[in-house]
Structure 1
Amino acid sequence: MIRVLIVDDEKIVRKGLISFMPWEDFGMKVVGEANNGENALQIIEKNKVDLLLTDLSMPVMSGIELMREVRKKYPHIQIVVLTLHQDFEYVQEALRLGVIDYIAKTQLDKEQFEDVLGRIASLMEQKDLLKGNLIPQDELENVEEILALFALNPQSDELKLDAYLSVGALEADLGIWYWLTIEEQDRKSLQDWVTKTFSSNSGFVLIRFHGLKHLDRKSILQLLRGYQKGDLFYDYDPLQPYKIVNSEDILNKVKRETGYDMSQIKAKWLSGEWIHNDQLFEHMQNELKSFRLPPIRLTRMFFSITDEWNRLYQPILSEPIIIEDFLTNWVQFETWLRETRKQLKMIKMKSTYSLEIQNSILQAMSLAQQMLNKHITAGNMAKRVNMSSSYFSQCFKEIVGQTYTDYLRDIRMEQAKDYLRNTTKTIHWIAEQVGYTDEKYFSRLFREHVGVLPSDYRQKGSI
């Protein structure tokens, strides 16, 4: 039986996970819950815990601090992070602390609970296997190069090697196989297998690492695992399923700190300027790739951005923008980004206004979303996008299909609903966050828009 501890400062989250997750179906049992890291450590001292589910942002002791203590004192405990979109700047630190999975609270619903637990159980099993003596201790001493086969999706249920390929292969981690010595003919057979079996949608890539003689066994395995988690995502080319890589280049990339501001990146992609400006779009795309964000961080950030695009452009989108749950490589991500841009560009093909005017309206929609807690009238917004008040109101209604005031009210109410569903914050706090200083006025508007009072909406959502 896997003993589980849930740590989150929001009681509604803890109770929801305990009540709705099918723990017993996966051989798990919740042995405790805590609202901060300090209380969690007290529970761990008195109870056997195998799996820790923890939020990152908590009072008294944060999730990051808790994970550091657990790693020092209880290294056998596996850790899963519960996170909101604004927590993604901590992902790198959490990765260094060895988390096995992430659960985005804003994306979690009852239909996904079984999939989430199944994935966690599988990852725990894989970690336990890797702790065993499956890999000989001295086979990587003094080797100059190795041939490694990487699966782009290590979690795939269909992941397997053909019988003849698995002969002589060692497994470094889930989805990573390598050969210490391999004849040129055998290498070509592997290359042909990767190329022909999967054509342009290959699920595998074959890499020859050289320059390894100065590395010990532990460093080589870390190199393979680190490459899978980062550079493989950006280096993969479906037209080139075989590559030769210098280990020094990879290690230098790991050591080099790349400066970037996540909030600035997100703000750029939430603006509407890149939708019709080809040069700006290519620049932003190349810049994003140059940052080489950890793939999980890139994906999570664009999950958040996609949510906001849908909220921003819902009145003028024919259908919601959807991002795939699992992106295996940059080529796949870039294709999705270009298709999304086409979808957004199609919005305005029906309009007779110039691209400059359309971009100004998109900018206004983006600013409205970013400044929900401010009092920005149509006149104020018109000045911000360099338009006259009357012409702005006319253009906004014709392009968006509703007045600026109605649009602002709608996105405020949608954000309020999100807060009511996913936080335990007071109605007064929520009202202020969406631009209303008067709680009673906010509650009346909410009832007119949604049909029930905020308190009733929250109660129904928690049943």
Structure 2
Amino acid sequence: MWRAIIVDDEPIIRFGIKASLDWSKEGIELAGDCANGAEALQLIEEEPVDLLITDIKMPVMDGLALTKRVLELHPATKVILVSSHNDFEYVREGLRLGVADYILKHTLEPEDLQQVVRRCLVMLEKEERGREQRPGTDSGDAARQRKHWEGELKRLLLQQRALPASGEFPAWLGDGYWGLAIVLNRVSAIEEQQGYLFKSVLLEQLTDVLYTAVPEGIGVQTGEHELFFLLPAASCDDAGQRLAELKARMEEESGASVTIGYAWGRDTVSIRETFEQGKLASGRGFFRGSGIYRYQLSDAERREGLRLPVLYRANEGAGDERLAELLGEWRDDWRQGGCPPLELKEEASRVLSIMFKQQADPYVLVESFDRLFKTETLGELCDALQSGISELRKVRMAGFDAPGSHHPIDKALEYIRGHYLESMTLQQVADYVHVSKNYFSILFKKVTGQNFIDYVITLRVQRAKELLGGTELKVYEVAEQSGFNDVKYFSKLFKKLTGHSPIEYRERMLPPLPGGALPREEEPS
């Protein structure tokens, strides 16, 4: 039976947590409940616990100090922070320390607590099984070993190195595994609404979910929006249900959508082949939509079919209605697959080039190609091609670069600088300057060198720097006043752009106090 302890300075909260679960039914013994961290630490030093549920803000010793000390003594302990609505910066610090999860005390429901506790129990059980299989290793050794395996896997897949020597990967690969090619969906929408860097934040979250669910697995990023994950499996029986649960968990915890292609492998010599087969299987999503696809021999088969440039040349000079019919015929012919998505995207780009190479701005034409290659389904590709044709026809007539003309981006920049702290979309600004959304996006990047949302984020981060260096606002208040609605996303994005967390940036900016000390954001009390 697992052991747990509850720590909160509010008796009603401690009572509520204790009453929310049938602890013995969950296989947990409640070792006690304490009113502050110092009291809890004394009990834990005498007899360790497996699960620590602690408030953040408490007298004598707060929850973060308790967490840090407990994880130093017993790294395998799972910590759940009990947070109020304005504690998110401290929650972030807790996650950095190694906290497993957190719950909000003012909206705490028994079902939420049960879900979080059970996730921790799953982690404890898997880690215990791992210790039984690998006696003598501690959590630090396991983390270093995982990093080593990740590096070896990335070199094998991306650098086309020789096949790995025996011992470079975990022994369980010899018993069989599933290779998962995991593709992030709706990437263009993510980039447009959240910025280019948000993709990397999502991929990190997806990787964390994978390792939480399958600690012994190995995962690496293999593309701008792709992951590859080796999942232990004792047989090649269909893993559909297991992967459906894993996909649902990834999407629930990250808020993103993914497509998974998977293939069976045995031993290290088949890793690269399994990777290629998983990618081919995930490509089926281009024709059938987001889902889970097991590799089939047909994924690698090619067939003859309609070729779009040939269709266009045979009907050159046809009107818009006839072009739409041709595009529909082409789409219907390839609806069941039989051709790599990349080739179909190249065909669509070739048609644009045939139509506009001698007439359109080369930059605008290349940006249109880029939109075609970013499409994720055959239907999106056809829509993007029709839209590209329409936009390029308008561009020929625009003439915004003529001397003395009033460029719409000048007007857009003025509007953005006056409203960047508010909720603002690409469509909203395009409407303001009376230009279509797609053409505005192309034009904006050409003039500024940045995508629209990345430009807005740059302004917001600059405002956050000013507030961190010139005010005593809490980090969550800085986030809100800089136009960010999610303090956790703000903190991750700020660090990616500046190299420092918001608190680290503030400490670097503020002058030292007498004696050399730096002023710090008030610690929880």
Q: Shorter-chain-normalised TM-score: which range?
A: 0.3 to 0.5
Which protein shows a greater Rg? 2
